[in-house]
Chain A
Amino acid sequence: MLLRIKKHPIIDFKDCEQISFYFNDTKLHGFKGDSIASALHAAGIKKLTTSLKYDRPRGFFCGIGKCSSCLMKVNKVPNVRTCIAPLINGIHVETQGKLADWPDVEFKSKSKETANADILVVGAGPAGLCATLEAAGQGASVLLIDENQTVGGQLVKQTHKFFGSKQEKAGTRGIQIAIDLENDLKKFKQNGKIKVMMNSTVIGYYEGNKEKQHKFAVVKREGYENNLYEVNCRAAIFACGAMENMLLFPGNDLPGVYGAGAVQTLMNVYGVKPGKKVIMVGAGNVGLIVSYQLLQAGIEVDRVVEAMPQIGGYHVHAAKLRRCKVPILTSHSIKEVYGNGKVEGAVIVKLDNNWQPIKGSEEKIDCDTICLAVGLTPSTRFLYQVKAEMEFIPEAGGYVALHDNSMHTTIKGIYVAGDSSGIEEASTAMIEGKIAGISAAMSLGYKKKGDSSLKKQHMDELDRLRAGPFGEKPRIGKYKISKLMEKKHA
């Protein structure tokens, strides 16, 4: 119970019903609303699995269902992503062997179900939600699919107030924006324009028919059972977000090394402390913001280290940390993390002008948690399967699908929005979502008076938000993408 956050200055953690479950035959307690991994973590269990080759202990890294270091056997079903699987009363959770055993559960032989819509939106984060609302507002029917239990994507852990323009919800906390968008969604759900499938993963793309050109296979999890859906649609918008980057150093796989976003999920969504003392790696906005949120949750942040010679995030975020006496060391990096089966400390080293470690500058620090905030990579695997043209754009964070300023890819009827179209932040993701939603609906013949000028307004707003010095990277990234797209059409 020591790891549960009782009081928080920003979040009202409500008392939830206590439920029990078994971990390798030991009875443990968690709360309704926990994920399996958060309940295990709160019970002090950080080692969830072992590596395939060397039996190294592994804990979760991403916390949002994108990496594979939390796979466990639940009620005899192997390979369950415990970081997003809900905790249910009485379940049996086991660590699984190197190779999962042949499942001995009985798989019900159910036939597939079918769902149809004008537009499929994959991902219910800021971009996907705005795309859904905008497309439904135009009159299109929309099916919104997401892997998580609740809508909002990563907004649900963002306890800080957003920057940006007043009309795009600046000054509102991410957690509140998630609630606002969900309420907007409910209004449309009532008139049947929007259907939402949560706990669902799009797993395959198939050729559709003349009427509905795109066909997708979707697995919906009910409890820990899977049901197959065939989804037919005329257009699809991929707003699948991004995945946190790993950094190479000895010990980077020890339980207790997390992506900064994973820690944010653990403490701000589930109310569980990641540990007692944290070293943050990376002084971009994510590193600075999560460090501050760790302090708000009552966790010590020993220091922030940044390999660059200067702080990459906004000064105002750095200033908040500094006046709480948290050191930010630029030109410093992590050399190694050590510990027996879990993080027990780290060695920090100063870097010279050529990014090389300076001998003799090593410092050993006792800590139990390392957070990596070293950038994100767009989640784009599905865009490969639909055969959208992909290009490596460093400023966008990796490979992205080429798209025009309507967010349309090289495949007819396939759109992208948000981080999966290039790493940026939530305010611009929301606007990109709106542009994708309105464009997809218009392309299917759902036209309204003034929709072209509305789309233009959204595009102008994007340009405005990207116009400053901090918008340079996405500005260049999007410019490169549009130039490559023009070439394809030339």
Chain B
Amino acid sequence: MPSYEKTGVLSTKELKLPSKEHLEKGVAIIECIQEIPCNPCVASCPVNAISMKNINALPLVDFKKCIGCGKCVGSCPGLAIFVIKSKDDKSLITLPYEFLPVPEVGDIVDALDRWGNTRCNGTVKRVLKKGKTMVITIEIREDLAMEIRNIRVYA
């Protein structure tokens, strides 16, 4: 049994990770590793970078095609898609957010990993309010780009 079935937490080993070059332009990472009947991400992509063999298959991102626009982030019912863009010592993490309070651009927020532990600060760079799932972009230190997957916002 893979450990995530016990813990609910993925390790980066279980994910197909993009190259440094792809990370520089910014790409979507889909943390959906079980065959569940679901496909809205495929339709959300404006450049057809996400493909699925059938509705139960795992979604595959073509990092070459992906433009890192983040449209899929807000479309995923499982809130499992993140866009990561890394350059030099900074990374931009775009993630889905469905809590209150809503952060504003410039706010400093806690950046949490997959275990919910605070690992560093993040600076809010963009807040997209399209529908009730907000899509938030934060800037963090580059070495935690593959760890940070949530934020905690203070009122």
Residues of A in contact with B (beta carbons under 8 Å apart): 7-10, 160-166, 170-171, 173, 295-296, 298, 309-311, 314-326, 328, 330, 427, 464-471
B100–A323 touching, CB < 8 Å: no
8 contacts between A and B (CB under 8 A): A162-B77, A310-B6, A314-B34, A314-B36, A317-B78, A319-B9, A319-B149, A323-B113
Complex-state Cα separation, A319 to B4, whole angstroms: 9
| Contact flag A324-B8 (CB < 8 Å), given A163-B37, A464-B55 | no
B117, CB-defined interface residue at 8 Å? yes
B89 on interface, CB distance cutoff 8 Å = no
CB distance from A351 to the nearest CB of B (A): 13
* B98 within 8 A of partner (CB): yes
Is B79 close to A, CB under 8 A?
yes
Closest chain-A Cβ to B13's Cβ sits at a distance in Å of 15
Kindly specify which of B18-26, B38-46, B137-145 makes contact with the partner chain: B38-46
Residue of A nearest to B40 (CB): A171
Q: Name the A residues within 8 Å of B67 (CB-CB).
A: none
Q: Scan residues 82-140 of chain B and give those whose CB is less than 8 A from a CB of chain A.
A: 98-100, 102, 112-117, 132-133
Interfacial chain A residues near B102, Cβ < 8 Å: 9
CA distance A248 to B144 in the complex (A): 45
Residues of A within 8 A of B4 (CB): 315, 318
Known: A165-B39, A314-B34, A464-B37. A296 touches B98 (CB 8 A): yes
Q: How many residues of B contact A (CB 8 A)?
A: 43
User: What is the minimal beta-carbon distance from B52 to any residue of chain A, in angstroms?
Assistant: 11
A461 to B128, CA, bound (A): 34
A319 close to B10 (CB less than 8 A): yes
Contact code string B46-70 (vs A, CB < 8 Å = 1, else 0): 0000000011100000000000000
| Complex CA–CA separation, A90 to B110 (angstroms) | 49
Q: Which residues of A lie under 8 Å from residue B32 when comparing CB positions?
A: 315-316
Q: What does DSSP make chain B's interface, helix, strand, loop or mixed?
A: loop
A325 to B116, Cβ gap below 8 A? yes
Query: Are A311 and B6 touching (Cβ within 8 A)?
Result: yes
A315 partner, pick from B5, B98, B100, B132, beta carbons under 8 A:
B5
Q: Which residues of A contact B35 (CB under 8 A)?
A: 468-470
CA distance A170 to B38 in the complex (A): 7
Interface residues of B (CB under 8 A from A): 1, 4-10, 31-40, 42-43, 54-56, 75-80, 98-100, 102, 112-117, 132-133, 149-150
Instruction: Note all chain A residues with C-beta closer than 8 A to B54.
Output: 464, 467
Question: Could you tell me the distance between the alpha carbons of A171 and B72 in the complex, rounded to whole angstroms?
Answer: 11
Shortest C-beta distance, B31 to chain A (Å), equals: 7
Chain A residues, Cβ within 8 Å of B31? 316, 319
Task: Sort A-B residue pairs by CB-CB distance and give the 3 closest, nearest first.
Answer: A325-B116, A316-B78, A318-B8
Q: Which residue of chain A has the shortest Cβ distance to B79 in the bound complex? A: A320
> Closest CB of chain B to A180's CB: distance in Å?
15
The minimal Cβ–Cβ distance linking A14 to chain B, given in whole angstroms, is 16
Tell me, in angstroms, the Cα distance from A196 to B150 when the chains sit together. Answer: 45
**Residue of B whose beta carbon sits closest to that of A295:** B99
| Cα-based distance from A170 to B43 in the complex (angstroms) | 11
Contact A468 B116 (CB under 8 A): no
A165 touches B9 (CB 8 A): no
Question: How far apart are the CA atoms of A10 and B79 in the complex, in Å?
Answer: 14
Say yes or no: A296 contacts B116, CB within 8 Å. no
Task: Using A8-B100, A465-B37 as known contacts, say yes or no to A309 and B112 having CB atoms under 8 A apart.
Answer: no
Question: Beyond A7-B100, A10-B98, A295-B99, is A170–B77 a contact (Cβ under 8 Å)?
Answer: yes
With A7-B100, A163-B78 given, is the CB distance from A325 to B115 under 8 Å? Answer: yes
Q: Do residues B8 and A328 form an inter-chain contact, with CB atoms below 8 A?
A: yes
**Interface pair B99/A9, CB less than 8 Å apart:** yes
Further pairs besides A9-B132, A310-B6, A314-B78: 17, Cβ < 8 Å: A163-B38, A163-B77, A164-B55, A173-B132, A296-B99, A316-B78, A319-B114, A322-B115, A322-B116, A326-B116, A328-B7, A464-B37, A467-B55, A468-B55, A468-B56, A470-B35, A470-B37
| Nearest Cβ on chain B to A167's Cβ, whole angstroms | 10
Chain A residues near B133 (CB-CB < 8 A) = 161
Would you call A322 and B9 a contact (CB within 8 A)? yes
Contact indicator A160/B112 (Cβ below 8 Å): no
Q: A311-B6, A325-B112 are in contact. Are A467 and B99 (CB under 8 A)?
A: no
Q: Are B37 and A322 in contact (CB under 8 A)?
A: no
Contacts of A163 in B (CB 8 A): 36-38, 77-78
Q: Is the CB of B116 within 8 A of A324?
A: yes
Given contacts A166-B40, A311-B6, A469-B35, contact A316 B80 (CB under 8 A): yes
The reply to whether B38 and A315 contact each other, CB–CB distance below 8 Å, is no
Q: How far is the CB of B72 from chain A (nearest CB, A)?
A: 11
B98 to A165, Cβ gap below 8 A? no
Interface centre among A10, A170, A464, by most chain B C-beta atoms within 10 angstroms, is A170
Nearest residue (CB) in B for A331 is: B6
Q: Which residues of A contact B34 (CB under 8 A)?
A: 314-316, 469-470
Which residues of the other chain, B, contact A166 by a CB distance below 8 angstroms?
A: 39-40, 42-43
Answer whether A323 and B36 are a contact pair too, CB < 8 Å, given A160-B77, A311-B6, A317-B78. Answer: no
Closest A residue, CB atoms, query B133: A161
Q: How far is the CA of A466 from the CA of B78 in the complex (A)?
A: 18
Of the residues A165, A309, A466, A469, contact of B6 by C-beta under 8 Å: A309
Cα–Cα, bound, A9→B103 (Å): 12
Q: Which residues of B lie under 8 Å from residue A310 when comparing CB positions?
A: 1, 5-6
Bound Cα distance A163, B59 (Å):
14
A residues within 8 A CB of B39?
165-166, 170
- Closest partner residue, chain B, to A328 (CB atom): B8
